[in-house]
Amino acid sequence: MSTIPTVDPATPAPTPTPAPAAAARPRRPRPTPGKVLAWVAMALIVLVTLFPFYWMLRTALSTNASLYEDPAAVLPPEFSTGGFARVFGAQSQEEALAEGGAATSLVFWRYIVNSLIVATLVTVGQLLFCAMAAYAFARLRWPGRDLVFGIFLAGLMVPTIFTLLPNFVLIKELGLIDNVLGIALPTMFMTPFAIFFLRQFFLNIPREIEEAALLDGVSRVGIFFKVVLPMAAAPMATLGILTYMTAWNDYFWPLMVSYTDDSRVLTVALGVFRAQSPQTGTDWAGLMAATLVAALPMVVLFALFAKRIVNSIGFNGLK
């Protein structure tokens, strides 16, 4: 392997043991034109990916009037934290209107709490229940297993619009309209993708480990919770964070279910904030500030878990 000079030292690891960049430095190969091109492409992709975020920040820190006067300025054309002040309702009606926004009566901290509750309920419930189901599909032997799995998987194809109304009626009948639980419930139990994703992973856990535990007198349930789940920490974390993000960013369903501050989540509040824009034009500064506020908890979450998520996504040995 070491005889082939063009191979990046990080590439040939069959098992992903992330090679620290620093360790690779001494043997860094001569850059080929292809490599240079690849790095340029990479830089371009990073730029395109991050630019909108920069533009959000730049817009959020500007005054609305200046945005229209100098639309292409790289830095905020006229620096102001008014957008953020409006988001948190720290501006009086007159101030807000003068700056091209509307004074809001929105209590963003409260929506953050609601969003946290919903996303946590969905993530915890979905992870646990889907892991259980996935284990049953991957590791337990029972008649009709593959058929049932196929039926579950078919759920992937059901368009969301199809389930919207019946689910809404059901939530109403349960008396959970305008309740955070009503928002969380439909996705709290399972999604076909989560089961599929975790099943792939469980299929590849060596049976020896389970057999050893069985011999030690551990029950099947015990094996699942004490052996299998800890081993699946990485894919569970990946799935968890993706689920969390999806639940956090859902707009449509919470919009239908929530009516008051009791259950209003961030995305819906963002929509309300947007709708409060006066008719003289969109309050872009305020809107972008609100957007950043809404995305911030996700950024924090991501920073905390980034290593875990991206290091191993459980697609090993796809069946």
Partner 1 sequence: MSTTTRQIVLDPDAARNRRARERGPVTRRSARRRGLLLPLAFLAPAGLGYLVFYLWPTVRGIWLSFTSFNLLTPAEFVGLDNYRRLVQDPLFWDSLGITVWYVVLNIGLQTVLALIIALMMHQLTRSTFLRGVVLSPFMVSNVVAALVWLWILDTQFGVANQVLEWLGVGSIGFLTDEFWSIPTIAAINVWRHMGYTALLIFAGLQTLPDTVYEAARIDGAGETRIFFSITMPLLRPILALVLIMTIIGSFQVFDTVAVTTSGGPANSTNVLQLYIYDMAFGRFQFGYAAAMSVALLIVLGIITFIQFKLTRANKTDLD
Partner 2 sequence: MNASHRRSRRLRGALAGLAAAALGLTGCASEGGEGVSSSSKTIDYWLWDTNQLPAYQRCADLFEESHPGLSVNITQYGWDDYWQLLTAGFIAERGPDVFTNHVSQYPQYVSLETVQPLDELEATAAVDEGEFQEGLSELWTGEGGRMYGMPKDWDTVAAFYNKDMVREAGLTEEDLATWDWNPRDGGGFEDVIARLTVDENGVRGDEPGFDKSKVEVYGLGLNEAGGSSFGQAQWSGFAAATGWRATDEPFWDTSYNFDDPRAQEALDWYFGLVDKGYMPAYGQFNQADGVAPQIASGSAAIAFDGSWSLRSYARSDLDLGTARYPTGPDGQAASMMNGLADSISRDADDPEAAAQWVAFMASPECQQAVARDGVVFPSRQDSTPLAAEAFAQMGLDPEPFTAPVEEDEVFYFPVTDHGADVRALAIPALEDIYANRAPASTLDRTNRAIDVLFETGEG
76-85 long-range contacts, Cβ below 8 Å, gap at least 24? 80/285, 82/285, 82/286, 83/59, 83/283, 83/285, 83/286, 83/287, 83/288, 83/289, 83/290, 84/60, 84/289, 84/293
Given 87, 134, 180, 269, the residue binding partner 2 (CB under 8 A): 180
Tell me how far, at minimum, the Cβ of 113 lies from partner 2, in Å. Answer: 6
Given 124, 132, 213, 256, the residue binding partner 2 (CB under 8 A): 256
In angstroms, the CA 119 to CA 293 distance is 16
Name the one residue in this structure whose structure tokens are 């830095």.
Answer: 75
Residue 275 partner contact from partner 1, partner 2, none using kind-dependent CB cut-offs of 5 to 8 Å:
partner 2
Tell me how far, at minimum, the Cβ of 248 lies from partner 2, in Å. Answer: 17
Residue 173 partner contact from partner 1, partner 2, none using kind-dependent CB cut-offs of 5 to 8 Å:
partner 2
Does 188 engage in binding with partner 1 (CB under 8 A)? yes
Does 95 engage in binding with partner 2 (CB under 8 A)? no
Does 245 engage in binding with partner 1 (CB under 8 A)? yes
Residues 30-49 that bind partner 2 (CB under 8 A): none
User: Could you give the 3-state DSSP secondary structure of residue 79?
Assistant: strand
C-alpha distances (whole Å) from 168 to each of 88, 178, 183, 247, 304 are: 31, 11, 10, 17, 35
- How many CA atoms lie less than 13 Å away from 111 in the CB half-sphere? 29
b/e 144-178 (16+ beta carbons within 10 angstroms → b): eeeeebeebeeeeeeeeeeeeeebbeebeeeebbb
Tell me how far, at minimum, the Cβ of 237 lies from partner 1, in Å. Answer: 10
Does 35 engage in binding with partner 1 (CB under 8 A)? yes
Does 190 engage in binding with partner 2 (CB under 8 A)? no
- Choose the binding region for partner 1 from 81-89, 92-100, 116-124, 145-153 (rule: CB under 8 A): 145-153
Whichever of 179 and 246 has its CB closer to partner 2, that residue is 179
Does 229 engage in binding with partner 1 (CB under 8 A)? no
User: Could you give the 3-state DSSP secondary structure of residue 77?
Assistant: coil
In angstroms, the CA 149 to CA 181 distance is 27
Give the binding site for partner 2 (CB under 8 A).
68, 93, 97, 102, 109, 113, 117, 121, 165, 168-169, 171-182, 185, 255-256, 259-260, 262, 271-272, 274-282
